[in-house]
Amino acid sequence: MAALLAVAAGAVHAGKDYSARIDYLYLDANEGQAAGGHAALRFGDEVYHFEYAEGGLIRAARQAFEPFRLLYTETENRTLHISRIAVTPDTYAALHQRFETRLERQNAQFEVPEALRRDREILEMLADATGAPPRLLVKGLGLFEPAQSNPPEDPALAELRARVLTRHGADGIRMRMDAVRQAISALRPDPPDDPLPADVHSSAPWRYRFADRYHDFHALLEAYRLLERAAPLRRDAYHAPPGREFALKPDEIDALQAFSRKLAESVLATLEHPRPDQGPGLLVALARLEALGKTLRYGRLVFLDTLKGREAAELPWRGAPPIFSAADADFRQARRELSNGRELDEVGYSLLENAANRRLDARKALAGRVPFRLRVPSGLMPARPGIPEEIVRPALGADEMRDAARGLRAAEAAHGERLAALYRYHLVNRNCVTEIFRTLDEGARPGVEGLGGRIEPMAANAIPFVSAQNVERRYRVVESFELASRRKRFLETLDSEAYLAELSPLSSAIYRPNDEDSLFLFFTDAPALARPLFGAANLATGGLETLAGIVTSPFDSGRTFYLGLRGMLVSLPELAFFNIRKGTFHRGGG
C-alpha cells in the first residue's frame, strides 16, 4: 500500500498522468522448452511475446490474454507472475504500436520465403503432372456439394443465377468462365527478385504472387460453375441448431433479410467486373447467401461452420464457466447488433457467424463435455478447401516451369539463410526476454519518462526470473501479483493426508503421466527441504528411462531415450534445491 501511495504521489508531483497500465508477465520454468521460464508483455487483452520456432528461430507472437493464461497456467502448469507498470496513455499507445509493428514486419519478412515456396511448389506440380491433372485445393470450395452427387439446386443461388442470366444473356456465365480460363493460361511466374531484409526493421513489400493468382483464378472459375448449377451447401458445412436461443425475432429477420439483399447485390457487382483476388471471397459470399436463405425460410439462425478442422485446446472443467460465459455474452451482443436499427454489414455478419459457432460449441461442450475450442480467433472466415472440377494449366512448357522453380528454390534458400541470421535463437543474446527489452529500446527509448527506468537487452538480464526482478526494481511497478498454476491451486485446497499423496505422480489425484513429460517419481516444486532426496530419485528414474530408450530407439525414433536424458537434466538442479519440473497437463494428463 505504501508503494502505491508513493508512486501516486510521485505521479502528482511530476504532473504526469500515469493512468495506463502495462503488465510484465513472467512464467515459472517447467520441463522441455520451458526450462528457463518465459516472459511476455500485456497491453489490455493482447499479449506480445517471442517464441522458439521451427528451425531454431525466435518469432514474435500476439495472443489474447485468456487463451495465453489457460495455456501456460493450466495446460503447462506454470505460475504466472505479473508486474503491473504505470505509464502515461501516450507511452502506452507508443509501445503498443511498437510491438505491433515489430510483429507485422517480421511476419512480412517470413512471408517472402513462404510465398516463394508456394510459387515453386505450384510450378513443380504443374511441370511434373504432364499426364494426370495436378492436385489443387481451393479455399471455400469444400463448403458445397460436388457435382458428382447430383444434388438438388439451392433456391437462393437459383434466384441469383436467374438475375445474372437476365443481365448477361444465356451464355453470360459461360463467357465469363472462358475469360477466366484465358487469364489462367496467360499466367507467368514472377522473377524471384525480392530484396533480402537488411535488418529486423526492414519492411518486405507485398506482392500478389503467381501461386496466389493461380489459386484465386480457379476459385473464381469454380464460383461461376457453382452459380451455373446452383450448387447447394454440404450438410456438414452449416449449422441449423434447434432451441429457443437460435430462434429469431421479427426485427432480427428484417435485418438479416436486408443484409441478404445487399450481399446479393455485392455478388452481382463482383460478377460484373471480377478480379482474381475476389474469387475466394465470392465462394464464401455464395455460401453465406445460401445460409441466409435457409435462415429466412426457417425463421431461425442458420450459419456456416467456421470451426471444422480447427484444433481444440483441452480445458479443465473448473476453468470452463468463464469461457462459456464469454461465448454466451459474445453471442448475445451479436444478436443485439441485429436489433439496434443500424444496417448490418459483412463485418457484423462475420462476428455474428463466429459468435454463433462459439456459442453452439460451448453448448455441445456443456452437454457432452467435449473439448472447447479456446484458441479460435474472432472474424474467422469459413474456408473449407475443396478440389476444383477443372484444372487449367498456364501456357508454359515443362522445362520453362522447372527452370523457374529452380530460381525460386535458390531465392527461397537465400531468404531462409538471411532470416536465420537475423532471428537465430540464442540462450542469452536473443531469447524471449532480450527481444522484449530490445523492442522497448527501438526508436525513442522510453527510459525514465516512459517506464520509470531502463533494462539493457544483455546477457545479464536474459534469464526470465532475473528480468522479472529487474522490472520490479527499475520500472514504475504499482502492483505485483500471481496467477497460480493448476497444480498449485489444487494443493492449496488439500488436507495434510491428501497433500502427502500429491508428492508423487504415482499417487496424484490430479496429475496423469503424458507423452510430453519424462518419467519421474516425485514432485519437487513444493517440499524444498526434501528436494535433493527427491531429485536423486528422479535422476535415477531418468537414468532407467534412458537405458530403456536405448532398447526402444529402433521402434520410437529415439523418443524414450530423449525423454530420459531430458528427465535427468531437469533432475540435476533438484540436487541443489532448485526446481524446474512441475508436470504438465497435455493430452493424456489428468
SS (H, E, C) 18-36: CCEEEEEEEECCCCHHHCC
Beta-carbon neighbour count of residue 524 at 10 Å?
28
d(CA 82, CA 66): 14
pLDDT digits (tens, 9 = 90+) for 333-376: 999 988 888 899 999 999 999 999 888 887 777 766 555 555 45
Question: What is the pLDDT, as a whole number, of residue 436?
Answer: 95
For residue 40, what is its C-alpha cell?
511476455
d(CA 106, CA 203): 8
205-208-214 Cα angle (round to 5): 155
d(CA 378, CA 114): 25
d(CA 469, CA 450): 19
Question: What is the pLDDT, as a whole number, of residue 137?
Answer: 92
Interacting residues of 538 by C-beta distance below 8 A, sequence separation 6+: 520, 521, 522, 524, 567, 571, 574, 581
DSSP 8-state secondary structure symbol assigned to residue 494: -
d(CA 113, CA 108): 10
SS3 of 91, please? helix
Question: What is the pLDDT, as a whole number, of residue 449?
Answer: 60
The letter for the amino acid at 122 is I
Per-residue pLDDT of the chain (590 residues; tens, 9 = 90+): 444 544 444 444 456 899 999 999 999 998 876 677 999 999 999 999 999 998 899 999 999 998 899 889 988 999 999 999 999 999 999 999 999 999 999 999 999 999 999 999 999 999 886 655 678 899 999 999 998 888 899 999 999 999 999 998 889 899 999 999 999 999 999 999 999 999 999 988 889 999 999 999 999 999 999 999 999 999 999 999 998 889 999 999 999 999 999 999 999 999 888 888 999 999 999 999 999 999 999 999 999 998 876 555 555 545 555 667 777 888 999 999 888 888 999 999 999 999 998 888 877 777 665 555 554 555 578 889 999 999 999 999 999 999 999 999 999 999 999 999 999 999 889 999 999 999 998 865 554 468 988 898 888 888 999 999 999 999 999 999 999 999 999 999 999 889 999 999 999 999 988 888 899 999 998 778 889 999 899 999 999 999 999 999 999 899 999 999 999 999 999 899 888 888 888 754 33
Q: Cell 525423454 maps to which residue?
A: 563
For residue 367, CA distances in Å to 316, 340, 363, 590 come to: 15, 32, 6, 20
For residue 117, what is its C-alpha cell?
515456396
Residue in 147, 161, 156, 136 with CA at minimum distance from that of residue 219: 136
Helix axes 346-368, 320-338, angle to 10 degrees: 140
pLDDT digits (tens, 9 = 90+) for 33-43: 667 799 999 99
Helix axes 155-168, 250-272, angle to 10 degrees: 40
For residue 272, CA distances in Å to 174, 268, 355 come to: 13, 6, 32
Question: What is the pLDDT, as a whole number, of residue 237?
Answer: 95
Return the exposure string of 409-446: e unless at least 16 CB atoms fall within 10 Å of the residue's CB, then b: bebbeebbebbeebbebeeeebbbbbbbbbbbbeeeeb
Question: What is the pLDDT, as a whole number, of residue 221?
Answer: 96
Rg (CA), the chain: 28
Interacting residues of 397 by C-beta distance below 8 A, sequence separation 6+: none
d(CA 457, CA 438): 6
pLDDT digits (tens, 9 = 90+) for 268-278: 999 888 888 99
Given a contact cutoff of 8 angstroms between Cβ atoms, the answer to whether 39 and 436 are in contact is yes
Residue in 311, 318, 310 with CA at minimum distance from that of residue 590: 318
Question: What is the pLDDT, as a whole number, of residue 274?
Answer: 85
Question: What is the pLDDT, as a whole number, of residue 371?
Answer: 57
Handedness of CA 45, 46, 50, 54 (dihedral sign): positive
DSSP 8-state secondary structure symbol assigned to residue 46: E
The letter for the amino acid at 227 is L
**Kind and range of the H or E element at 500?**
helix 496-501
For residue 264, CA distances in Å to 256, 260, 285, 424 come to: 12, 6, 8, 49
Task: Give the rounded distance of the alpha carbon of 180 from its chain centre.
Answer: 34
Torsion-angle region of 271 (φ positive above 0: left; ψ -120 to 50: alpha; else: beta) = alpha
Residue in 387, 408, 414, 416 with CA at minimum distance from that of residue 127: 408
Q: Which domains does the chain have, with CATH numbers?
A: 20-109+419-483 (3.90.1720), 135-386 (no CATH), 496-576 (no CATH)
Residue in 91, 198, 108 with CA at minimum distance from that of residue 443: 91
d(CA 284, CA 387): 15
pTM (predicted TM-score): 0.82
The letter for the amino acid at 539 is L
Please give the order of strands across the beta sheet that includes 57-64: 57-64, 46-53, 38-43, 20-27, 80-87, 477-483
DSSP H helical segments within 427-479, as ranges? 432-440, 447-450, 464-474
d(CA 579, CA 532): 10
Given a contact cutoff of 8 angstroms between Cβ atoms, the answer to whether 382 and 284 are in contact is yes
Question: What is the pLDDT, as a whole number, of residue 280?
Answer: 93
d(CA 226, CA 271): 13
Q: Taking every pair of C-alpha atoms in the chain, what is the biggest distance, in angstroms?
A: 86
Indicate the pairing of strand 80-87 with strand 20-27: antiparallel
Given a contact cutoff of 8 angstroms between Cβ atoms, the answer to whether 390 and 416 are in contact is no
**Kind and range of the H or E element at 110?**
helix 89-128
For residue 441, what is its C-alpha cell?
529500446
